[in-house]
Every structure is written in C-alpha cells, then in structure tokens.
C-alpha cells in the first residue's frame, strides 16, 4: 500500500479523473444509505478520501464528513478544495492509515470510495481496514464500499490504455498497463503520467499499484469476522443491478453488528 499517490502523481490526479462522475457515485452511495440505514445517518467517515471530491459532495448534501487518507499530498489538496467551496459544514481531512485509524466519536457510516478496499492487497491489510472501520462505527452503522468484482476481472483481465487530457496550455498523458496475477488475486497496474507543453516534458510520474479483487463468499466471511453482516452486493454506480461478471465495478453494503 505504500509508495503510491505521492506528490508528483497527486498533482495530476484531479486532471486525470476530471471526467469521473463523482456526483453519480455519491448519489448511488446516498441511495444505499437511505435504503439500508438503521437510524439516522449523519456522521460519515470517508476512508481513503483522496483529494476530497466525494467528501465535498457529501458535505454539500448535509452530511458531517471526516476524510482520512495516507497520502499527505492528497489530504492537502482535499483541504484546499473544501476551503474554496461554500459548504454548510466543512469536512475535516486527516492524514492517517485506514488500517489503524481511530476517530474521536462513533460514526454512522464508513465509506470506502473508488476501490479503496482493493489497495488492501493482503488478507491482513483487508481485515485490519475492515476492523478499523468497525471500531469507528456505532452499532447498526453502515459500511459501503465499491470494489473490483472478482468474477468480472477473471472473465475480462486488465489490458493497456492511454488517454490525453487538456489542462490550460499543457497536455496530460496517462497510460496504464495491467498484469493479471490470478494466484495472488490481484492486478499489478503500472500508471505513467506525463505533463507536456508542446514537445517539452514539464513533469512525469510513474507508479505501480497492486490492486486486489474480491469474490462474494470471501467478502461475506471477511465482513463477518470483522464484526459486520453483509446486506447487499450491487452494481456500481447503477445500484439497481446486481453485481455481475460482465462488469468490474460493484458495491457492498454491510451493517455493524
């Protein structure tokens, strides 16, 4: 989990994901909260909050949000983003490891957006993250996370992809290549980001991300031993469809027991 989302990569993160539909994802999460909540859901813990794009939407919708991320560069950008927005309650952003984070008071829901759980590539890491989430939740609190659905990854392994993004007078080129490692149930994704002005390279970064995928029965077992009960597996962000071997993106909803 270490060695990714460092300063040079974080600097281009929002440009690379500018077309990502954060609003649709937040709407999906809020609909899952409304469907499965047991009591009022007000205090949200955003685990692996990145640059805060999900968090500020939740805050704008009236939730009291605390975001946590291991990357100080990401947290700095999240704080900057929130400070320039008119929000009813400004989210709090903290630098920390989601595997051992301990908040000040119980939260009503814990969220792992943008496949954060997938970066817990070992069983120990995944169980530590789930266990920490449980310790920060009240009884009957919710855990909602999107993740890579194992059956879909096996059917359609990762390949190569290159995209270009215009940003002011420069161009950001992001290329990724994926190596499927089925014996360890993960994908090794190498991401290269280059910022260009004409033929001049203004900056570049390269990172290799070890990203795990999950199968339904192992998720159910991991959640159970971590103090949760699995309530639902759905597509994501289309939560009205079941998780499917035809699409990598899925979401899980669990309740703290």
Distance separating alpha carbons of residues 54 and 77, to the nearest angstrom: 13
Average pLDDT over residues 225-237: 98
Distance separating alpha carbons of residues 36 and 34, to the nearest angstrom: 6
Task: Give CATH 2.20.130.10 domain extents, the chain.
Answer: 152-211
On the question of a cis peptide bond just before residue 237, with omega within 30 degrees of 0, the verdict is: yes
Q: What is the pTM of this model?
A: 0.92
Residues 6+ apart with CB under 8 A from 186: 121, 210, 211, 212, 213
According to the model, what pLDDT value does residue 87 have? 85
Residue 2: is its pLDDT beyond 60?
no
According to the model, what pLDDT value does residue 1 have? 42
The rounded mean pLDDT for the chain is 93
Residue 52: is its pLDDT beyond 60?
yes
CATH 3.40.50.150 correct for 7-150+214-256? yes
Closest CA to 55 of 92, 101, 100, 99: 92
Distance separating alpha carbons of residues 214 and 154, to the nearest angstrom: 11
Q: pLDDT band at 6, cuts 50/70/90? A: low
Burial class (CB in 10 A: 0-12, 13-18, 19+), 171: middle
Q: pLDDT band at 155, cuts 50/70/90? A: very high
Task: Give CATH 3.40.50.150 domain extents, the chain.
Answer: 7-150+214-256
Question: Which H/E stretch holds residue 29?
Answer: helix 22-36
CATH class of 152-211: mainly beta
């Amino acid at each position: 989990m270490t060695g990714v989302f460092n300063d040079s990569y974080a600097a281009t993160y929002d440009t690379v994901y500018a077309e990502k539909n954060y609003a649709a994802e937040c709407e999906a999460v809020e609909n899952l909260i409304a469907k499965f909540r047991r009591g009022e859901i007000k205090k949200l813990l955003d685990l692996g909050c990145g640059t805060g794009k999900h968090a500020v939407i939740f805050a704008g919708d009236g939730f009291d949000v605390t975001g946590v991320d291991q990357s100080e560069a990401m947290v700095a950008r999240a704080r900057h983003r929130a400070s320039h927005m008119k929000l009813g309650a400004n989210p709090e952003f903290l630098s920390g490891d989601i595997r051992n984070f301990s908040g000040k008071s119980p939260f009503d829901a814990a969220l792992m957006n943008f496949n954060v759980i997938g970066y817990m590539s070992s069983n120990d890491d995944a169980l530590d993250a789930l266990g920490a989430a449980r310790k920060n939740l009240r009884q009957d609190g919710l855990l909602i996370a999107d993740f890579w659905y194992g059956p879909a990854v096996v059917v359609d392994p990762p390949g190569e992809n290159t995209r270009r993004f215009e940003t002011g007078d420069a161009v950001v080129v992001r290329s990724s290549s994926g190596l499927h490692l089925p014996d360890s149930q993960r994908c090794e994704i190498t991401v290269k980001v280059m910022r260009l002005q004409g033929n001049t390279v203004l900056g570049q970064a390269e990172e290799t991300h070890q990203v795990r995928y999950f199968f339904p029965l192992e998720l159910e077992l991991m959640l159970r031993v971590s103090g949760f009960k699995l309530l639902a597996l759905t597509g994501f962000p289309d939560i009205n469809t079941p998780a499917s071997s035809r699409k990598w993106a899925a979401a899980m909803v669990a309740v703290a027991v």
